[in-house]
Amino acid sequence: MSLVFLAFGVAFLLALIGRVRPALVVGLVGLLLTALMFRYHLTDRIELDL
């Protein structure tokens, strides 16, 4: 999961140095990875110890 945070970090860095289009692409990839990880958790492969 730290890789997704890293992707957003790279997106912020690219935006900061003026590379808007690559930043948009990396940010969208980050959102896509987040959605995929959420999809993984929706498959009930997590077990909560309640």
Partner 1 sequence: MQVLNAVAATVLYGVVAGAFFIQFADSELPCPLCLLIRLGMLGAAFGLTLNALWRPRPLHYGIAILGAVLGGAISLRQVALHVVPGTGSYGSAVFGFHLYTWAFIVFCVLLLAIGAVLCFQRQFDEQQGDPPSLARIAGRFAAVAGLVLCFANVIAVAAECDVRACPDNPTHYEGPLRNWEG
Residue of the chain from 19, 22, 43, 49 that contacts partner 1 (CB under 8 A): 49
6 binds partner 1 (CB under 8 A): yes
Give me 3's structure tokens: 């890789």
Q: What is the per-residue binding string for partner 1 in 9-48, x denoting contact by CB under 8 A?
A: x-xxx-xx---x--xx--xx-xx--xx-xx--xx---xxx
Angle between helices 20-41 and 2-16 (to 10 degrees): 160
Query: Pick from 31, 25, 22, 23: which is nearest to 4 by CA?
Result: 31
Cβ 10 to partner 1 shortest distance, Å:
8
